[in-house]
Structures are given as C-alpha cells and as structure tokens.
Structure 1
Amino acid sequence: MDRIWTKSFILMTLAMLMLFMGFYLLLPTLPLFIKEMGGSESQVGVAAGAFTITAVLLRPFVGGLLDRYGRRPFMISGLLIFILSMYLYDWVSSMAGLFALRILHGASWALATTAVSTLVTDLIPESRRGEGMGWFGMAMTLAMAAGPMLGVWVLENGSFHAIFWAGAGLSAAAFLIVFPVRVPFKPKEGSRKIEIFDKSVLPVSLSVFFLAVAYGGITTFLPLFSESIRINPGTFFLVYAIALTLARPIAGKLSDRIGQGYVVVPALIITISALIILSLSNGLLPVVIAAALYGIGFGSAQPALQVLNLRLVPADKRGVANAAFMTAFDLGIGLGSIVLGWVSQLTGYSMLFGVCAVSVAVSALVFMIMHSNLQRRKGQLG
C-alpha cells in the first residue's frame, strides 16, 4: 500500500504548522500594533489589504515558476524572506514603512505557501491524495486555532517586540525543518515558457471562490454577530475547529475511495445548512450546531476540491493548479469580506449569513455542472 506518513511528509506538515503559527500570531496583534503607532482603522485595513493583494497577484506567477524551475528554490527563498519580514516589524517606525513591509511579507507568503503546498502534493501517492491533503490541512487548522491565542498570550505577557521575535522564530523553525527534505519533482529540461494559468482548473477555482466568500463572512463577522446575541465567539470557533479536525482526514479518505463528487456535494449541502441555521440563530445552542455543521461541511469540501483540482492537470502543472486554488480562496475571502460588510451594514447579520448560504449554493452548482461535464468526457471521476 502506498505510504502517506513518510519522513518528508511529516517534516513538511510540521513546517507548515510552524509557518502558519507565525502568520496567525499577527492576526489579532498587528491591528493593535498599528493603533499604537498612531494609525487609524482605515490604515489597519490598508495594511491587511496590502498583504493579501500582493499574495493574490503573485501566486499565479509563483505557480508557473514552480513548474518551470522546481519547488526548492522558491520554498527556501520564500521562507527566508518571511523570516526577514517578521524580524523587520520590530524596526518599523512609520506607516509608509509598514505598508512597504506588508507588501514584502505578502510576497514571501505567496512564495512560501504555494511552494510548500505544491511540494507536499508531490510527496503524497496519487491513490491516497485526498487522505494525505486532509491530514496536511490539519496543520493549518491547528495553527488557525492556536496561533491567535498564542499571539494574544505573548502580547499580554510580553510586548510587540516579543511577538515579532516569536513569529521570526517559528518561521525559522519551518525553514530548518524543510531544508533537508528531498524534492521528488524534477522540472523538464530545455526551454519552456512559464505558464501562470491552466483553463482546465477554472471551474474548480470558481467553486472555491464562492465557498471562500462565505468563509470570509464567517471569519470576519461571526465575532461581531456573537457579541450582538451575547455569546462568546470563541465557542463557535472551538466547536468549528474540533469538527473540522475530525472531518478532514475522514473526508479525504472517502474522496480517494468513492470519488470527489460524492464528498463535495453533500459537504456543500451541509455547509449551506449550517449557514441557514446561523442566519436564524439567537442563542448558544443553534450557534453551536451551526459551528459543528460548518466544520464538517467546509472541512470535507476543501481538501476534496483541492485533490480534484490537481487531478485536472499533469504532474508538471501542479504548481499552476495549486496557485490557482489558493488565489481563488484568497480572493473569495477578501472580496467576500468587503461585499458582506456592505450587506451587514444595510440589512444586518441574518441577511449576511443568508447571502453566505447563497454563495455556497452557487459553489455547489458550479461544481455539479463541472463534474457532470467531466464524467461525460472522461468517465473516470467518481
């Protein structure tokens, strides 16, 4: 039987955990740092946007470079620049300097995460890719749950100086972990143009985009919604993280055995149900139920979609496919947060989560049309 838990896979998963922990340290603390520098709320938004926009714009080019020149150079350079960026926050003294640093940091994020994720897909046997990506995704889930809490704890017991050094230390650990990993992918010899997109992954990218719109709505507005109905937002995210952690490897294994279509569609239906329940919630119990369903639905759909995305391209285009997947996800979160902010201001949280449910329904529709076409053309995707 093809092995998932090789030494290289374990090291890459640990490295991703360290890298994402460093990233999530800044999520709750950077806005406070900007305020301490005298920045406004709008400048907090600009700082966040500079990072995300840079990553979104660079990812497609990074994907093409990974396929043309190999994974290792861009993984190593991305991690080194990420470490440098975390260290330089401690030296920033102006908003202009901070915005420039956020652009550099976003570029390093695009390089490092796209390269690491693509290298991992090279390490996982194709017959168990869904299961492998499910386990690998656990690193990001754990970082998402623990990183912000660690950041707040470090700040409360230390300083911003400690935050930035902790982030640099975690990303340095990621660098040291991945450095000895052997890279199985070898780029084709001879000159070949750098491709930044493959049209075969467009339908999956669209489906991921609409799924990510709802994810952006949850991460951005759930804390505010929780306060409005007087419950602790941490309860939602704790239940969500537990359900996500349990769902990922199980759904990944199922997608390998019975096909991605039989996992993604039910998962998206569960996600829609969670958002409808959330839109009708006015107390703790329905919010907890919604959190559990959302964790199961989203945690099952995301790795299965990523695996299908990789199956649509040859091995020498996995970088392009991964870049398209991650770009669609980032764009969905960013644009979704903006649009849903307007919805929230005009109509309230109930309608906001209703719009999120509609967005996931569009994701499901796009996926079903695409999957039906694939079955007719190839007759091999379950």
Structure 2
Amino acid sequence: MERLWTGPFVTLTIGMLALFTGFYFLLPTLPLFIQDLGGSQTQVGLVSGVFTLTAVLFRPLVGGLLDRYGRRPFIIGGLLLFAVAMYAYDWIGGIAALLALRFLHGVSWAMSTTAVGTAITDIIPPARRGEGMGWYGMAMTIAMAIGPMAGLWLIEEGSFRAVVLVATGLSVLAFALAFAAKTPFERSAGRQPMKLFEKSLLPVTIAILFLAVAYGGITTFLSLFAVSIGVNAGLFFLVYAIALTLIRPMAGKLSDRYGEAGVIIPSLVVTVAALIVLSLASGVAGVVTAAVLYGIGFGSAQPALQACALRMARPDQKGVANASFFTAFDLGIGLGSIALGGVSQFAGYPALFVVCAASAGLSLVVFVVAVRARLPRSRQAAGEEAAV
C-alpha cells in the first residue's frame, strides 16, 4: 500500500490546523462584534456573506493558475495575506470598514485554502484519496472543536482584540509550516488554455452548494440561536467536532473501498435529521443531539463529495476540481448567510433551521439523480491514475 503519512502531508495538515483554528475563532465572536458595532441581524449575514462570496469570485481563477504555475506561490502569498488581514480586524471601527476587510480576507482565504488543498491531493496516493482527505479534513474538525470555544472564552475574559491577536499568531504559524513544506507539482504537457471551470463537475458542485447553504446557517447563526435559548454555543461545536472526529477516518476508508455513494446518501439523510432536531431544540439536550447527528452526517458527506469532484476531473485538473468544490462550498455558505439572515430576522431561528434541512434534502436529491450514475466511471479513472 502506498504511503500516506509523508512529511509534507503531516506538515501541511498541521499548518491548516493552525489556520482553521484561527479562522474558527471568528465564527462565534464576529457576530457578537458586529452587534457591538451596532449592526443588525441582516448585517451579520451580510458580513459573513461578503467573505465567502469574495472567495467564490476568486477561487476559479486561483484553480486555473494552480494547474498552470504550480501550488507554492499561491500557498505562500495566500497565507501571508491571510495573516495580514486577520491582524487588520484590530483596526476596525465600523460596518463599512469591516465589509472592505472581509473582501480582502476572502481573497486570501480563496488563495490559501485552494492552493493547500490542491497540494494535499498531489501528495495523497490516489488509491487512498478518501482516507487522506478524511484525515486532512480532521484539521478543520479539531479546529472547530478548539476555535469557537477558545474564541468565546477570549472575548468573554478579554476582548475581541485578544481574539484577533491570537488568531493572527496562529495564521503566522500556518505560514511558517507551509513555507517549510515541499509541494510536488508537474505541469501538464503542452500549453493548453487555462481552464476556470470543468462543466462535467456541475452536478456534484450543485449538490455541494445546497449542503453548504445549511452549513452557512449553522456557522453564522448557531451562536446567536444558542444565546436565545440559554445554551453555550461552544458546546454544540465541541460535540459536533468530537462526533466528526470519530466518524471521518471510518467514512474515508469506506468511501475508498465501496464508493462515495454508499457514504454520501445515508450521511445526507442524517444531516437533514440533525437540522430538523436543531429546529425543535429548546435546551441542551436538543442542541447536543443535533450536534452529534450533524457531526456524523456532514462529517461523512463533505469529504466524500470532495473526493467525487476529484475523481470526476482529469489528473491534470486537480486545481480546477478543488477550486470548483470550494467555490460551490463558499457560494452556498455566502448565499445561505445572506438569505438566512432575513429568515432569522422575520421568521425566527426554528424556521431558519427548517430551511437549512430543506437545502440539505435538495443536496441529497441532486446527488441521487445527477451524480451517482457518474461515479463508477470516475472511480475507474482514479484507478487508471494510480496505475500511471
């Protein structure tokens, strides 16, 4: 069996753990900071949406450039810009300036995460892609366990400035680790036109988008919902992360052995159930139950859908495939954050999570109708890639 745990794989994964932890510091604390600035519920959604929609605009361009010029320049440049943008939150004094900063931060997020994610797929043996992506995804999982609770503790015991400074330090650590990692890359033969999107990936990206709408509702409004029912938001993120940590390695191996459909379909059903439970929650028991189910469902479906995108793209289009995946994911989060802000303001949080459940249900329908039939051919292509 080909080796998975190489030096670059470990170094980049640890680097992304640092980056994602700093990023997740902001998720529960930024809405509170916006409210302190005098922002409304709708503006909370808008600020979150600007970040992700900016990433959507830049990811396709970054993906095409990665396949033409390599991964390293965009890893280094993206992480450096991310650290600078993170520190700049300390200077913000109004909603307009925050929106401008979120645009810059979104550009850096598009560059760094797309480039590192693509470099990781270069390093992982094709036959162990599901397993490798599952372990790499654990960086985000552990960050989600640590980040929100640490961020809330910092803002309660200190200030939003303390959140920013610690997150900046973690971003600098991510930059240093990525700078030290060797990232292999071979340009494809010939000088073909740069591709920004692969149309064969459209069905799977639509499925990813609908799943991400629900994720946007969780990440943007869970902390405010938890406050409204007297529950610590960090508890949801901690339980969710523990469930996700336990399920992801197993789901990745099952995906490699039996195919993505056998993992994705039941996982999306569990995700819908989690969001329905959350819409009915009125205390700790409901929130914890929803967190467990969401960790199992979303934690299994997300890396398997990314593996689908990679299998359905040509080996020389990994950058485009990763960019397509993250573009759809960011677009879903951005649209969800903006649209669901209005839902929460006029219909309340239970209605918001019902809409999230419906969106996850649409993801399931799209996958079953338009994606599943294409997977046997994509898995065969992966086998051919491994044999090269």
TM-score (norm 1): 0.90
Residue 133 of structure 1: aligned partner: 133
State the superposition RMSD in angstroms.
Answer: 2.7
The answer for unaligned runs of 5 or more in structure 1 is none
The separation in 1 between residues aligned to 2:193 and 2:84, in whole angstroms, is 31
Tell me the alpha carbon deviations over residues 209-237 of structure 1, each in whole angstroms, 9 at most, x when there is no partner: 11111222223333444445444443333
Tell me the alpha carbon deviations over residues 32-69 of structure 1, each in whole angstroms, 9 at most, x when there is no partner: 55566x55346655543332222111011111111111
Residue 176 of structure 2: aligned partner: 176
Residue 116 of structure 1: aligned partner: 116
Paired residues for 1:6-17 under 5 Å: 6-17=6-17
Report whether the alignment pairs 1:100 with 2:100.
yes
Residue 67 of structure 1: aligned partner: 67
SS, match of residue 180 in structure 2: coil
CA distance 1:210–1:33, shift in 2 (3 Å): closer
Range that drifts further, 228-237 or 297-306: 228-237
How many angstroms does 1:4 deviate by?
1.4
The separation in 2 between residues aligned to 1:350 and 1:35, in whole angstroms, is 21
Tell me the alpha carbon deviations over residues 119-158 of structure 1, each in whole angstroms, 9 at most, x when there is no partner: 1111111111111111111111111221233233344555
Residue type of the alignment partner of 2:39:
S
Range that drifts further, 23-32 or 192-201: 23-32
Paired residues for 1:1-382 under 5 Å: 1-31=1-31, 40-41=39-40, 46-92=46-92, 97-188=97-188, 190-374=190-374, 380=380
Residue type of the alignment partner of 1:332:
G
The separation in 2 between residues aligned to 1:20 and 1:60, in whole angstroms, is 21
Residue type of the alignment partner of 1:367:
F
TM-score (norm 2): 0.88
Residue type of the alignment partner of 2:279:
S
The separation in 2 between residues aligned to 1:93 and 1:275, in whole angstroms, is 35
8 Å contact kept, 1:243–1:292: yes
Higher relative contact order (CA 8 A, sep 6+): 2
How many angstroms does 1:26 deviate by?
3.0
8 Å contact kept, 2:68–2:187: yes
- Identical aligned pairs, as a percentage? 60
SS, match of residue 22 in structure 2: helix
8 Å contact kept, 2:203–2:367: yes
The separation in 1 between residues aligned to 2:99 and 2:347, in whole angstroms, is 33
How many angstroms does 1:16 deviate by?
0.3
The separation in 2 between residues aligned to 1:271 and 1:160, in whole angstroms, is 32
The separation in 1 between residues aligned to 2:66 and 2:259, in whole angstroms, is 28
The separation in 1 between residues aligned to 2:364 and 2:119, in whole angstroms, is 28
CA distance 1:130–1:378, shift in 2 (3 Å): closer
8 Å contact kept, 1:374–1:381: no
Range that drifts further, 347-356 or 71-80: 347-356
Tell me the alpha carbon deviations over residues 5-35 of structure 1, each in whole angstroms, 9 at most, x when there is no partner: 1111110100101111222233344455556
CA distance 1:287–1:23, shift in 2 (3 Å): closer
The separation in 2 between residues aligned to 1:279 and 1:27, in whole angstroms, is 20
State how many pairs are aligned. Answer: 381
